[in-house]
């Protein structure tokens, strides 16, 4: 226990200032499929698989946590486009349900497939700009781990 206490160092030093990252620029770079840090390297090595490191600036990208947010955003966007288009089309040209299905079902699939990669890039850019999930220079730790406070274990 004594050795553990001696290893702690208390200082009144201010933490080093962290440079501000342009959030909108990083999101825009991600939308275009380029590295959010430099804007020239490729962000994806396949359709939805991101590169581990940027080939130009060597920024570590492989640890991002986009998870389901890109899919939720695509569903929100495509849903508004398709439902709005369906409603406006139905007001101007009344068609049968089969005709609407033949138009709007393929359009939904195509729009979702076209938008998912740029949306994932934008989410990766947002995480990079806000220093989330390891982009801040520190090693991320599991959130469910509590520090040991001593006492009876």
Among 10-14, 53-57, 147-151, the minimum mean pLDDT is found in 10-14
Give me the number of domains the chain comprises: 1
Beta strands in 40-130, from DSSP E residues, in sequence order: none
Q: State the pLDDT at residue 21.
A: 87
Domain containing residue 39: 21-129
User: Quick check: is 58 in a domain?
Assistant: yes
Q: What percent of the chain has pLDDT over 70?
A: 76
Average pLDDT over residues 49-53: 93
Average pLDDT over residues 67-94: 95
Q: State the pLDDT at residue 141.
A: 61
CA 115, 116, 120, 123 dihedral sign is positive
Cβ(50)–Cβ(124) under 8 Å?
yes
pLDDT in tens, 93-133: 989 999 999 999 999 999 999 999 999 999 999 999 988 87
Q: Cα(109)–Cα(2) distance, rounded to whole angstroms?
A: 63
User: Quick check: is 85 in a domain?
Assistant: yes
User: Quick check: is 138 in a domain?
Assistant: no
User: Quick check: is 98 in a domain?
Assistant: yes
């Amino acid at each position: 226990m004594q050795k553990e206490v001696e290893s702690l160092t208390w200082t009144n030093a201010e933490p080093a200032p962290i440079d501000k990252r342009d959030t909108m620029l990083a999101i825009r770079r991600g939308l275009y499929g380029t590295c959010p840090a430099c804007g020239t390297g490729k962000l994806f090595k396949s359709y939805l698989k991101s590169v581990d490191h940027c080939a130009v600036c060597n920024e570590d990208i492989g640890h991002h946590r986009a998870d389901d947010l890109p899919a939720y955003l695509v569903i929100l966007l495509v849903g508004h486009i398709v439902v709005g288009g369906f409603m406006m089309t139905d007001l101007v040209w009344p068609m049968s349900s089969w005709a609407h299905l033949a138009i709007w079902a393929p359009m939904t699939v195509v729009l979702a497939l076209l938008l998912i990669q740029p949306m994932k890039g934008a989410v990766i850019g947002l995480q990079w700009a806000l220093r989330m999930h390891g982009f801040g220079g520190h090693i991320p730790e599991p959130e469910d781990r509590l520090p040991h406070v001593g006492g009876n274990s």
